[in-house]
Amino acid sequence: MDPTDPRRHVVETADRLFYARGVQAVGMDELRQASGVPLKRLYALFPSKEEIVLAVLARRHALWEEGVRERVDRAGTPRARLLAVYDHLADWFAEDSFRGCGFINAFGELGAVSPRVAEAARAHKRSFQEYVAGLVEAAGGPRELGPQLCLLAEGAQTTAAIAGTPEAAAQARRAAEVLVRAAMPSGDPDEPAQSTREA
């Protein structure tokens, strides 16, 4: 029940419910029941449901950044770091609870109605694009490679979500390999010119 940090407990519970079924499909009363936090305290912790949604998205953003960064940092060469992103996606897609990118879902559901949700999604995606751009730069790749790799990652997320199968991650990775190799064909000391797949 995590009574030490009720705010965090509420956000985690809300995330689970919102992500699984959509924000509008989950009422405050269900959140109360699932979290064990009375309505009065919910509204003492958060002034409105929208604020809970934003807190959920903020947590999701932090977890995503942490997860990607960790995966990338485990990879060796700058080129392998570029592709590690897709391995992270593969793990994610394989989770039972996977139902697409929470930001894309929230944007589709609420983006037109809630400017703050729309902005949260925008900021999340922008942040990822900048991160990938940094990876590309560190690998000595051309500027246009970053957005292209991001498109593959985005497409994999929606494809895996709607199809309900995880193979989009591997497809995206292979496509990314091609793009990377085409953009940085040189005999870098980086790579053995073979597949960069780990283990």
Choose between 24 and 195: whose C-beta lies nearer to a second copy. Answer: 24
Nearest to 168 by CA among 153, 156, 152, 151: 156
Which residue, 78 or 146, is less far from a second copy as judged by CB?
146
Q: Angle, to 10 degrees, between the axis of helix 102-110 and the axis of helix 145-163?
A: 80
Candidates 8, 74, 126, 143: give the one binding a second copy (CB under 8 A). Answer: 126
Contact residues for 179 (Cβ-Cβ < 8 A; gap 6+): 145, 148, 149, 152
Distance of alpha carbon 35 from alpha carbon 14, whole angstroms: 8
Give the Cβ contact number of residue 69 at 10 Å: 13
Minimum CB separation from DNA for residue 27, in Å?
Answer: 3
Q: Is 197 in the site for a second copy (CB under 8 A)?
A: no
Is residue 147 a contact point for a second copy (CB under 8 A)? yes
From candidates 12, 50, 119, 190, binder to DNA by CB under 7 A: 50
Total binding residues toward DNA, as defined by CB under 7 A: 15
Q: Is 39 in the site for a second copy (CB under 8 A)?
A: no
Q: How far is CA 63 from CA 59, 127, 143, 147, 148, in A?
A: 6, 13, 27, 22, 23
Indicate which of a second copy, DNA, none lies near residue 121 (CB less than 5 to 8 Å, by partner kind).
a second copy
Q: What are the residues binding a second copy (CB under 8 A)? A: 20-22, 24-25, 99-101, 103-113, 118, 121-122, 125-126, 144, 147-148, 150-159, 161-164, 168, 171-172, 174-175, 178-179, 181-183
